[in-house]
Amino acid sequence: MLELKRISWDLPDGGEILRHIDLTVPDGKLIVVTGPNGGGKTTLAKIIAGLETPSGGSIWLDGQDITGLDVTQRARLGIAYAFQQPVRFKGITVRMLLELAAGGSLKENEACAFLAKVGLCAREYIDREVNASLSGGEIKRIEIATVLARGARLSIFDEPEAGIDLWSFSSLIDAFGELRGKLSGSLLIISHQERILNIADEIIVIADGGVRVSGPREDVLPKLLSGESFAGCPVMEGVGCK
Protein backbone atom coordinates (compact mmCIF):
# COMPACT_ATOMS: atom_id res chain seq x y z
CA MET A 1 0.00 0.00 0.00
CA LEU A 2 1.21 3.49 -0.90
CA GLU A 3 0.48 6.41 1.42
CA LEU A 4 1.12 10.10 0.79
CA LYS A 5 1.03 12.30 3.87
CA ARG A 6 0.72 16.08 3.48
CA ILE A 7 2.78 16.18 0.29
CA SER A 8 3.63 19.67 -1.00
CA TRP A 9 5.73 20.83 -3.94
CA ASP A 10 6.83 24.38 -4.76
CA LEU A 11 8.38 26.00 -7.80
CA PRO A 12 11.84 27.58 -7.41
CA ASP A 13 10.17 31.01 -7.34
CA GLY A 14 8.03 29.91 -4.40
CA GLY A 15 4.82 29.23 -6.31
CA GLU A 16 2.84 26.31 -4.88
CA ILE A 17 1.89 23.45 -7.21
CA LEU A 18 0.80 20.88 -4.60
CA ARG A 19 -0.43 21.67 -1.09
CA HIS A 20 -0.77 19.11 1.70
CA ILE A 21 -1.84 16.13 -0.43
CA ASP A 22 -3.08 13.13 1.55
CA LEU A 23 -4.03 9.99 -0.33
CA THR A 24 -3.79 6.22 -0.19
CA VAL A 25 -3.29 3.77 -3.06
CA PRO A 26 -4.37 0.36 -1.74
CA ASP A 27 -3.03 -2.95 -3.05
CA GLY A 28 -4.80 -4.66 -5.90
CA LYS A 29 -6.59 -1.54 -7.14
CA LEU A 30 -6.68 0.49 -10.34
CA ILE A 31 -6.66 4.16 -9.34
CA VAL A 32 -7.20 6.95 -11.88
CA VAL A 33 -6.03 10.47 -11.07
CA THR A 34 -7.78 13.14 -13.10
CA GLY A 35 -8.43 16.87 -12.98
CA PRO A 36 -7.91 20.13 -14.91
CA ASN A 37 -4.71 20.79 -16.81
CA GLY A 38 -2.07 22.39 -14.62
CA GLY A 39 -3.58 21.06 -11.40
CA GLY A 40 -0.49 19.07 -10.34
CA LYS A 41 -1.31 15.54 -11.52
CA THR A 42 1.93 14.81 -13.37
CA THR A 43 3.99 16.46 -10.62
CA LEU A 44 2.35 14.16 -8.09
CA ALA A 45 3.14 11.09 -10.21
CA LYS A 46 6.79 12.17 -10.54
CA ILE A 47 7.04 12.68 -6.77
CA ILE A 48 5.76 9.14 -6.19
CA ALA A 49 8.27 7.73 -8.71
CA GLY A 50 11.15 9.70 -7.20
CA LEU A 51 11.69 12.00 -10.18
CA GLU A 52 10.80 15.06 -8.10
CA THR A 53 11.45 15.76 -4.42
CA PRO A 54 8.53 17.06 -2.35
CA SER A 55 8.89 20.37 -0.52
CA GLY A 56 7.09 18.84 2.44
CA GLY A 57 5.37 15.68 3.63
CA SER A 58 6.29 12.01 3.40
CA ILE A 59 5.75 8.96 1.18
CA TRP A 60 5.27 5.46 2.56
CA LEU A 61 5.28 2.10 0.74
CA ASP A 62 4.15 -0.93 2.72
CA GLY A 63 4.96 0.86 5.96
CA GLN A 64 8.44 2.00 4.83
CA ASP A 65 9.25 5.70 4.56
CA ILE A 66 10.63 6.08 1.01
CA THR A 67 10.64 9.90 0.92
CA GLY A 68 14.44 10.06 0.82
CA LEU A 69 14.93 7.31 -1.78
CA ASP A 70 15.87 8.17 -5.36
CA VAL A 71 14.19 6.86 -8.51
CA THR A 72 16.53 3.84 -8.80
CA GLN A 73 15.98 2.79 -5.20
CA ARG A 74 12.22 3.10 -5.62
CA ALA A 75 12.35 1.06 -8.83
CA ARG A 76 14.07 -1.72 -6.89
CA LEU A 77 11.17 -1.65 -4.44
CA GLY A 78 8.77 -2.18 -7.34
CA ILE A 79 7.66 1.29 -8.48
CA ALA A 80 7.50 1.64 -12.28
CA TYR A 81 6.81 4.87 -14.18
CA ALA A 82 5.76 5.38 -17.82
CA PHE A 83 6.56 8.88 -19.11
CA GLN A 84 4.28 11.06 -21.23
CA GLN A 85 7.22 11.41 -23.64
CA PRO A 86 9.19 8.14 -23.58
CA VAL A 87 12.95 8.09 -24.12
CA ARG A 88 14.64 6.35 -27.06
CA PHE A 89 17.57 3.91 -26.88
CA LYS A 90 19.83 3.64 -29.92
CA GLY A 91 21.32 0.15 -30.23
CA ILE A 92 18.73 -1.52 -27.96
CA THR A 93 16.00 -3.61 -29.54
CA VAL A 94 12.43 -3.91 -28.35
CA ARG A 95 13.12 -7.51 -27.31
CA MET A 96 16.11 -6.42 -25.20
CA LEU A 97 14.10 -3.65 -23.55
CA LEU A 98 11.29 -6.04 -22.63
CA GLU A 99 13.78 -8.52 -21.15
CA LEU A 100 15.47 -5.77 -19.14
CA ALA A 101 12.06 -4.81 -17.76
CA ALA A 102 11.13 -8.41 -16.98
CA GLY A 103 14.47 -9.04 -15.25
CA GLY A 104 15.44 -12.01 -17.42
CA SER A 105 15.07 -13.70 -20.78
CA LEU A 106 11.63 -14.03 -22.32
CA LYS A 107 10.40 -16.64 -24.74
CA GLU A 108 9.37 -15.08 -28.04
CA ASN A 109 5.69 -15.74 -27.42
CA GLU A 110 5.95 -14.08 -23.99
CA ALA A 111 7.63 -10.95 -25.39
CA CYS A 112 5.14 -10.81 -28.25
CA ALA A 113 2.21 -11.07 -25.85
CA PHE A 114 3.25 -7.83 -24.12
CA LEU A 115 3.41 -6.02 -27.47
CA ALA A 116 0.05 -7.40 -28.54
CA LYS A 117 -1.52 -5.99 -25.37
CA VAL A 118 -0.65 -2.47 -26.49
CA GLY A 119 -1.80 -2.96 -30.07
CA LEU A 120 1.51 -3.68 -31.83
CA CYS A 121 2.12 -6.48 -34.33
CA ALA A 122 4.89 -8.31 -32.50
CA ARG A 123 6.75 -9.71 -35.55
CA GLU A 124 7.15 -6.21 -36.96
CA TYR A 125 8.58 -4.73 -33.76
CA ILE A 126 10.29 -7.37 -31.63
CA ASP A 127 13.75 -6.92 -33.24
CA ARG A 128 13.54 -3.22 -34.12
CA GLU A 129 15.76 -0.70 -32.37
CA VAL A 130 14.08 1.68 -29.94
CA ASN A 131 15.30 4.74 -31.83
CA ALA A 132 14.17 7.64 -34.01
CA SER A 133 12.75 5.29 -36.65
CA LEU A 134 9.76 4.71 -34.36
CA SER A 135 6.90 7.19 -34.22
CA GLY A 136 5.84 8.88 -31.01
CA GLY A 137 2.82 6.59 -30.72
CA GLU A 138 4.90 3.46 -31.33
CA ILE A 139 7.52 4.37 -28.73
CA LYS A 140 4.78 5.18 -26.22
CA ARG A 141 3.15 1.79 -26.66
CA ILE A 142 6.50 0.01 -26.34
CA GLU A 143 7.20 1.80 -23.06
CA ILE A 144 3.80 0.76 -21.72
CA ALA A 145 4.58 -2.83 -22.73
CA THR A 146 7.82 -2.68 -20.69
CA VAL A 147 5.90 -1.48 -17.63
CA LEU A 148 3.50 -4.40 -18.06
CA ALA A 149 6.48 -6.76 -18.39
CA ARG A 150 7.90 -5.58 -15.05
CA GLY A 151 4.90 -6.72 -13.05
CA ALA A 152 5.73 -3.98 -10.53
CA ARG A 153 4.22 -3.42 -7.09
CA LEU A 154 3.01 -0.02 -8.27
CA SER A 155 2.84 0.89 -11.97
CA ILE A 156 2.30 4.57 -12.79
CA PHE A 157 1.03 5.57 -16.24
CA ASP A 158 1.08 9.27 -17.10
CA GLU A 159 -1.62 9.89 -19.74
CA PRO A 160 -1.06 6.57 -21.56
CA GLU A 161 -3.54 7.60 -24.27
CA ALA A 162 -1.30 10.45 -25.51
CA GLY A 163 -0.06 9.87 -29.07
CA ILE A 164 -1.95 6.60 -29.51
CA ASP A 165 -4.45 6.01 -32.32
CA LEU A 166 -8.02 4.95 -31.60
CA TRP A 167 -7.54 1.26 -32.44
CA SER A 168 -4.45 0.96 -30.24
CA PHE A 169 -6.22 2.86 -27.47
CA SER A 170 -8.96 0.23 -27.50
CA SER A 171 -6.31 -2.49 -27.14
CA LEU A 172 -4.76 -0.56 -24.27
CA ILE A 173 -8.10 -0.33 -22.46
CA ASP A 174 -8.47 -4.10 -22.84
CA ALA A 175 -4.97 -4.59 -21.38
CA PHE A 176 -5.71 -2.38 -18.38
CA GLY A 177 -9.03 -4.16 -17.88
CA GLU A 178 -7.26 -7.52 -17.91
CA LEU A 179 -4.65 -6.32 -15.44
CA ARG A 180 -7.35 -4.93 -13.18
CA GLY A 181 -8.64 -8.46 -12.63
CA LYS A 182 -5.20 -9.93 -11.93
CA LEU A 183 -3.47 -7.29 -9.85
CA SER A 184 -1.04 -8.31 -7.15
CA GLY A 185 0.14 -4.72 -6.99
CA SER A 186 -1.58 -1.48 -8.01
CA LEU A 187 -2.02 0.66 -11.11
CA LEU A 188 -2.05 4.45 -10.88
CA ILE A 189 -3.15 6.09 -14.14
CA ILE A 190 -3.29 9.81 -14.90
CA SER A 191 -5.97 10.40 -17.49
CA HIS A 192 -8.91 12.53 -18.63
CA GLN A 193 -10.36 9.77 -20.80
CA GLU A 194 -13.81 8.52 -19.87
CA ARG A 195 -13.06 4.95 -21.00
CA ILE A 196 -10.11 4.77 -18.60
CA LEU A 197 -12.13 6.35 -15.80
CA ASN A 198 -14.79 3.70 -16.43
CA ILE A 199 -12.45 0.83 -15.50
CA ALA A 200 -11.11 2.47 -12.33
CA ASP A 201 -11.75 1.10 -8.88
CA GLU A 202 -11.27 4.57 -7.41
CA ILE A 203 -10.98 8.07 -8.90
CA ILE A 204 -9.00 10.95 -7.40
CA VAL A 205 -9.59 14.49 -8.68
CA ILE A 206 -6.61 16.85 -8.32
CA ALA A 207 -7.32 20.55 -8.92
CA ASP A 208 -5.60 23.75 -7.88
CA GLY A 209 -2.91 21.80 -6.06
CA GLY A 210 -5.17 19.72 -3.83
CA VAL A 211 -7.41 16.64 -3.72
CA ARG A 212 -10.89 17.94 -4.50
CA VAL A 213 -12.72 14.63 -4.35
CA SER A 214 -11.79 10.95 -4.16
CA GLY A 215 -13.70 7.73 -3.82
CA PRO A 216 -15.13 4.72 -5.65
CA ARG A 217 -15.73 5.15 -9.39
CA GLU A 218 -19.48 4.79 -8.99
CA ASP A 219 -19.55 7.80 -6.66
CA VAL A 220 -17.09 10.13 -8.41
CA LEU A 221 -17.61 9.46 -12.13
CA PRO A 222 -21.26 10.65 -12.25
CA LYS A 223 -20.10 14.04 -10.91
CA LEU A 224 -17.55 14.30 -13.72
CA LEU A 225 -19.98 13.17 -16.40
CA SER A 226 -22.51 15.73 -15.21
CA GLY A 227 -20.03 18.47 -16.09
CA GLU A 228 -19.11 19.41 -12.54
CA SER A 229 -16.00 21.57 -12.49
CA PHE A 230 -13.16 21.71 -9.99
CA ALA A 231 -11.26 24.92 -9.22
CA GLY A 232 -13.30 26.54 -11.98
CA CYS A 233 -12.10 24.15 -14.71
CA PRO A 234 -13.82 21.23 -16.49
CA VAL A 235 -12.19 17.81 -16.27
CA MET A 236 -13.53 15.45 -18.91
CA GLU A 237 -12.06 14.66 -22.35
CA GLY A 238 -8.84 16.55 -21.88
CA VAL A 239 -10.49 19.98 -21.56
CA GLY A 240 -8.68 22.04 -18.97
CA CYS A 241 -7.70 25.53 -17.97
CA LYS A 242 -4.34 26.93 -18.95
The string of pLDDT tens digits covering residues 103-145 is 899 998 999 998 888 878 888 899 999 888 888 778 878 888 8
235 pLDDT above the threshold of 80 = no
Q: Are the CB atoms for 62 and 233 separated by under 8 Å?
A: no
Q: Are the CB atoms for 30 and 180 separated by under 8 Å?
A: yes
What pLDDT digit, counting tens, does each position of 44-88 carry?
Answer: 999 999 999 999 999 999 999 999 999 999 999 999 998 776 677
What pLDDT digit, counting tens, does each position of 180-219 carry?
Answer: 766 667 899 999 899 999 999 999 999 988 999 999 999 9
Q: Are the CB atoms for 101 and 147 separated by under 8 Å?
A: yes
- Residues contacting residue 194 through CB under 8 Å, at least 6 positions apart: 225, 236, 237
3-state secondary structure of 102: helix
Q: Are the CB atoms for 163 and 134 separated by under 8 Å?
A: no
pLDDT band, very low/low/confident/very high, at 238 (cuts 50, 70, 90)? very low
Which residues on neighbouring strands pair with residue 8, listed in sequence order?
56
